[in-house]
Copies of this chain bind each other. A is one copy, B any other.
Amino acid sequence: MEQATADRTPDVASQSDGAAAQNPHGDAWGALTRTHAAIVQRLQEMLSAADFPPLPWYEVLAAVSEAPDERMKMGDLAEALVITRGGLTKLVDRLVKAGLLERTFCETDRRVSYATLTPAGRDLLAEMRPAVIAELEVAFSANLSVAQANELRKTLDSVRGSACGT
């Protein structure tokens, strides 16, 4: 039997979804999307199985935790996560309701509000982080040397550079 009546597709990705398979670089894009989707799916399954909050919550907590004073302006946070501001407002609302974040305000500019990590948020992040890292290790470390991973990162960064700028 299949563990439940789950709806998820069983992981195996087809070799070519044809997203622009004409140009010489199209396959690179296809590989990028499929790999991204596969890892996200894997992370989400792991989090759900471990009774952890969903991936976006982790991403918020992780981003905030690395900012100075463990707080981040809403706008910067939306930008870092590449989601809309409106979406972030509601996402942070949920984390606040769960006690993982709190909103704090800026003295000098009363428009800005910060998402600030609470002790509970810090604790949860400390629990989740090893699990997430372990999952990523499976995907990356297993088949890639550190040098290869660095090369991959550099290549992706340069692609993003030309995709963003202009």
Binding site for B on A (CB under 8 A): 7-14, 16-39, 41-42, 58-59, 62-63, 65-66, 75-76, 78-86, 129, 132-133, 136-144, 146, 148-153, 155-165
Q: Are A20 and B85 in contact (CB under 8 A)?
A: no
CA distance A62 to B14 in the complex (A): 14
* Oligomeric state, in copies: 2
Given A31-B153, A156-B35, A159-B35 in contact, is the A86-B7 Cβ separation under 8 Å? yes
Q: Are A155 and B164 in contact (CB under 8 A)?
A: no
27 A-B pairs with CB atoms under 8 Å apart are A9-B75, A12-B164, A13-B79, A14-B79, A14-B80, A17-B62, A17-B63, A17-B80, A19-B59, A20-B133, A20-B136, A23-B133, A23-B136, A24-B149, A26-B133, A28-B144, A31-B152, A34-B82, A34-B156, A38-B163, A39-B159, A42-B163, A138-B162, A143-B158, A143-B161, A143-B162, A144-B155
